[in-house]
Amino acid sequence: MARASVDSALEQIGTIIERLADPDIFPWLGARREPTEAETNRAATIVADRLCGVQSDPIVRNAQERRQLALLKTWLEARGYAMQPAGRGVNFKALVPGTLAFHMNAPVSQEGTESPSGKEAKAACSLGAWPGRTRIRPT
């Protein structure tokens, strides 16, 4: 790539970044001046905090999900449900009454329409129904 093309492309990238930059974090960009040392430190701290959040949020969410599923499993087992062993190839509609499973794929469709092929959603918890109890299954 020619030097002029590279310079032009970098100029365009810089323009986009300046437009997207938060003026509360980077006030010197809108003012077209050099940042003070305090502004640089503040901006660096905010950006570092956001990057840490991006890394830690999924970890926190996954840990929270594990805790919630463990509590739900304990609650259901106390009421007679048993965990459906993983890897058995049982689909959502074929759960045996009194069983539970986490992270099963369940077809999704709107009332009065056919389920689009390949469209699935994760079911956080799927429950087979006991006779005489409310069924928690797709219709």
The pLDDT tens digits for 52-62 are 988 888 888 89
For the chain, percent of residues with pLDDT exceeding 70: 71
pLDDT value for 113: 58
| Mean pLDDT value of segment 4-31 | 92
pLDDT 10s digits, 30-88? 888 999 999 999 999 999 999 998 888 888 889 999 999 999 999 999 989 888 877 66
Distance CA 84, CA 101 (A): 5
Q: Where are the domains of the chain?
A: 3-69, 80-127
Cβ within 8 Å of residue 123, ≥6 positions away: 92, 103, 104, 105, 106
End-to-end CA separation in angstroms for the chain: 59
Q: How confident is the model at residue 112 (pLDDT cuts 50, 70, 90)?
A: low
pLDDT value for 131: 42
pLDDT value for 104: 76
pLDDT value for 108: 65
Kindly give the residue spans of alpha helices, DSSP state H, lying in 1-77.
3-20, 27-31, 37-77
Distance CA 66, CA 58 (A): 12
Cβ within 8 Å of residue 78, ≥6 positions away: none
Cβ within 8 Å of residue 28, ≥6 positions away: 34, 35, 36, 39
| Mean pLDDT value of segment 126-135 | 46
What DSSP character marks residue 93? G
Distance CA 14, CA 35 (A): 16
pLDDT value for 61: 87
Residue 46 backbone phi and psi in degrees, to 5: -65, -45
